């Protein structure tokens, strides 16, 4: 359990895409710091729920398909009904579609932009409307943490809608900070580097690509979801009360190379 500035005891966090990978790592890290966690997932997050509850805090599962904004207000209402209020929102859910830019389809463009950017904004809006009702009281602040990407900074290849969406996440993070900081809300983002999850299993298994990736990372290893969890705890805590509109790269030094 965290102590001091990093102690989240009594806080309630809402984490999207919480069933596996980075979302699971963040949810567990917040739970270890003392927060109760609402787990938002399209697939059964029972493993994450067990890991969260093993920390002695509450977990509440909300099943939702974030391919449209339809469930956004329901998610907020259910989380508040189950856990009391929302102190922390982590917008982790996201998808990716791959094809050459010359061949990329409108369907793949729209699907990615809907989840990664539109739903992220409207869920943040719904949570922020709740937060402004209590933020600032006795110095308490709401915390919104968006999950960006290395492609918030770089162009990438064969992922035009993903690159556009994650660049947009960086911009929206700054806009939210500009508008909502005076209302008692901190908005920041985390840009993960190469993290060892199910989504990157193929890259890890490809001997050539794995070697090329590791050669560029000064830290010399793939990241772990817990590495992103640590950054999330920091941004969710009072230690980050003066951090606004920042995109924190957690990449083992990838961008520095």
Q: Which residues have a catalytic role annotated?
A: 162
Neighbour-count burial of 122, counting CB atoms closer than 10 A to its CB (0-12 exposed, 13-18 middle, 19+ buried)? middle
Handedness of CA 26, 145, 71, 56 (dihedral sign): positive
Evaluate whether 196 touches 224 at the Cβ level (below 8 Å). yes
E-strand spans in the chain? 12-16, 36-41, 59-63, 88-91, 142-147, 185-192, 247-250
- CA proximity to 173, closest of 228, 113, 120, 249: 120
């Amino acid at each position: 359990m965290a102590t001091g500035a990093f102690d989240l005891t009594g806080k309630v966090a809402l984490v999207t895409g919480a069933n596996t990978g980075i979302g699971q790592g963040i949810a567990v890290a917040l739970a270890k710091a003392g927060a109760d966690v609402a787990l938002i997932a399209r697939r059964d997050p029972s493993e994450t729920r067990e890991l969260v509850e093993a920390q002695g805090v509450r977990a509440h599962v909300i099943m939702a398909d974030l391919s449209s904004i339809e469930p956004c207000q329901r998610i907020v209402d259910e989380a508040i009904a189950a856990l009391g209020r929302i102190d922390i929102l982590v917008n982790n859910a996201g998808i990716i579609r791959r094809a050459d830019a010359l061949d990329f389809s409108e369907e793949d463009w729209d699907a990615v932009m809907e989840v990664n950017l539109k739903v992220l904004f409207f869920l943040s809006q719904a949570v922020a409307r709740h937060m402004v009702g209590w933020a600032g009281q006795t110095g308490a602040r709401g915390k919104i943490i968006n999950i960006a990407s290395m492609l918030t900074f770089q162009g990438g290849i064969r992922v035009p809608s993903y690159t556009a969406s994650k660049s947009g996440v960086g911009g929206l993070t700054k806009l939210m900070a500009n508008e909502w900081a005076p209302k008692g809300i901190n908005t920041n983002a985390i840009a993960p580097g190469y993290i060892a999850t199910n989504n990157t299993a193929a890259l890890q298994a490809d001997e050539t690509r794995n070697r090329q990736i590791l050669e560029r990372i000064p830290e010399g290893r793939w990241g772990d979801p817990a590495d992103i969890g640590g950054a999330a705890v920091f941004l969710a805590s009072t230690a980050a009360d003066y951090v606004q509109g920042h995109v924190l790269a957690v990449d083992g030094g990838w961008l520095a190379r």
